[in-house]
Structure 1
Amino acid sequence: MQKSLIKDNTKKDVPLILCIIYFSYLIFKIFIQKEITGTDNSILKTMYFFRMDKLLFCVPILYYFIKTNKEKKYFKVNKKLNITDIVTYFALSYGINIFLNLISSAINIEGQKFIVQRPIYTDIIYAICIAPVLEEIVFRGVLMTYLKKYGIQTAIIVSSLFFGISHYNIYMIIPAFFIGIVLAYVSYKYSIKYSILLHILLNIVANMSKIVFVLKGPKEIFPLLGIIFISLFVLCLIFFIIGLKRKNYQDVFLAFKLNNEDRKNMVIFLKNNILYIVIIFGIVITSLLFNYKLF
């Protein structure tokens, strides 16, 4: 890591400012959810149904991503990732999700419940086709690329932390953080193309019950889901063991192994960006307090 990169403050911290705009969506989401429960405003309902509210907050960061793509080469492939390795990283992410969700489910905090529900097909399309691309662009593309000047460990940890807290759900923050570590590693070592693909696969599994419901209807959903998840569990277990034997996972969590230079870089990042960090965490904490009736 070159020290000159850390001390280079000639460029504005545009990515962090864009992240503040992106996170502001959490506050807006609370507003729009509360408003549509007591109004017939078709514009607000359309925005909510089709996730247009979040997409609007993504416009500035997407513009920045497109504008800087030639310079940053976001989609550059550093190393090709074969199908077996993709599945082993999927198995690791899926295992992390199951394990940490079981632990976090012990926490009994009731969130806000809204009368107006989105059409199931819009949730499926957004979760599988749109969210993985947007979130990888925001957190692995723009944010992690910017943070690399503080060292790759800082870039992976901070971008994954922001990815975790962006999930607007107490139960998902910790699992999303660790899954973010895997996605960040895949993006850094291989390409953001592969982290997008892995993210899509994870979201397909996470929304499997909705997909089966749409395709087969409520009568066949439970037996079919049982077969799918048992098969998936066995498959993931096999590939998880393969990943362990190949030592695929050894480097993934080296992000937590910080040497003296890494720790100094982390401190420099915190000192240089304390205002941005406070604003982002303030937005997230406020949204959680309102969403879980703690305020």
Structure 2
Amino acid sequence: MDNLFEKIKVKKVLLFYILAIILTFLLLQIPVINNIYLKDKYVAEIMLSIILLVFVGLMVFRGNNTMKTDLVSCIKRISYKKIARLYILNIGLYIGVGLILLVGTHATAKGPTLIYLISGVTTAPIIEELFFRGLLLNKLKFKTGIRFAILISATIFAILHFDLNFIGRFFMGVLSALLYIETKNIVNCIIFHMLCNFSIFLFVVLSQYVHIPMSNSDGTPQPLIIVVFYSSIVISIVMNIKYIKNNLPRKRSISL
């Protein structure tokens, strides 16, 4: 599937995205769907993702038996050990971000909806990997070289999430890009992305039922929470940097 992303035109992708937005808007005008949307705004996001996936399927697999064979081959060649290795590198970041969500009281916080969780763990990782690692990385590598392509695509990926977890998003983007380059299998990246999102969303759900006080009942602080928070993040960042340094492709290499 490597050559597929190189052949896809950016203009065509933008056209499909605009059409998907228009179709999503039209579907939201249906009373039944609109009522669901009024209760949960993430309905629009998951609808948009599904429509985009349908467009991708029609564009890539329609009448193309070779691509169907390649997809089956990618699924059979899933590198579970490589995915697990990269996942372990980020565990400290998951714990650090998770502790932020669990510290304090969340009695008035609104819990995540089922649609939000489904979107974040399924459709969002698929769409984002196809775009950031598949399309964007492949387009950038010819203009900037593979190293800058990895860093730029990961930076854009982190920024466009519009949240405070920039460092975690950036490292995940870089690791996912390295995974794609090493295995030439976008399915590996999708699974890795799903695991990362699931880890964060697990803490989001737990934050509705669990809270960790910053001080004891007698008012004395709990420094252990701060130590675990910072040490887990620092250890994970060091592990990430070491792995990236050892596995970043040569400057002039553009081959995926």
With normalisation by structure 1, the TM-score equals: 0.50
Q: By how many angstroms is 1:93 displaced? A: 2.6
| Amino acid paired to 1:187 | Y
Aligned partners of 2:157 and 2:173 also within 8 Å = yes
| Amino acid paired to 1:51 | Y
Task: Name the SS of the counterpart of 2:130 in structure 1.
Answer: helix
| Pair 1:125 & 2:152 matched | no
Structure 1 partner of 2:44: 53
Structure 1 partner of 2:128: 135
Say if 1:66 and 1:185 are closer, same or farther in 2 by CA, change over 3 A.
farther
Structure 2 partner of 1:166: 160
| Amino acid paired to 2:55 | Y
| Amino acid paired to 2:190 | I
CA-to-aligned-CA distance 1:96-123 (integer Å, 9 cap, x gap): 5556x59xx8xxxxxxxxx996753222
Structure 1 partner of 2:217: none
Summarize the alignment of residues 20-169 of structure 1 with structure 2, pairs less than 5 Å apart: 46-47=36-37, 49=40, 51-55=42-46, 57-58=48-49, 59-60=51-52, 63-64=55-56, 66-68=58-60, 77=74, 81-83=79-81, 85-96=82-93, 120-150=113-143, 151-169=145-163
Percent identity of equivalent pairs: 20
Cα distance in 1 between the residues matched to 2:118 and 2:175:
24
Structure 1 partner of 2:222: none
Structure 1 partner of 2:221: none
Aligned partners of 2:45 and 2:119 also within 8 Å = no
Structure 1 residues not aligned, in runs of 5+:
1-9, 29-40, 106-114, 224-229, 263-295
Cα distance in 2 between the residues matched to 1:131 and 1:121:
14
Q: Which of 204, 209, 230 lines up with 2:203 in the alignment?
A: 209
Say if 1:74 and 1:96 are closer, same or farther in 2 by CA, change over 3 A.
farther
Aligned partners of 2:179 and 2:188 also within 8 Å = yes
With normalisation by structure 2, the TM-score equals: 0.56
Say if 1:86 and 1:201 are closer, same or farther in 2 by CA, change over 3 A.
same
Q: By how many angstroms is 1:54 displaced? A: 2.4
Summarize the alignment of residues 165-204 of structure 1 with structure 2, pairs less than 5 Å apart: 165-169=159-163, 171-190=164-183, 191-204=185-198
Say if 1:15 and 1:161 are closer, same or farther in 2 by CA, change over 3 A.
farther
CA-to-aligned-CA distance 1:182-217 (integer Å, 9 cap, x gap): 11111221221111111111122111135558xxx9
Aligned partners of 1:81 and 1:194 also within 8 Å = yes
Q: Which of 14, 17, 35 lines up with 1:17 in the alignment?
A: 14
Cα distance in 2 between the residues matched to 1:172 and 1:18:
30
Q: By how many angstroms is 1:90 displaced? A: 0.5
Q: By how many angstroms is 1:89 displaced? A: 0.4
Q: By how many angstroms is 1:167 displaced? A: 0.6
Summarize the alignment of residues 268-287 of structure 1 with structure 2, pairs less than 5 Å apart: none
| Amino acid paired to 1:67 | M
Aligned partners of 2:125 and 2:194 also within 8 Å = yes
Cα distance in 1 between the residues matched to 2:155 and 2:117:
25
Cα distance in 1 between the residues matched to 2:202 and 2:158:
21
Task: Name the SS of the counterpart of 1:200 in structure 2.
Answer: helix
| Amino acid paired to 2:146 | I
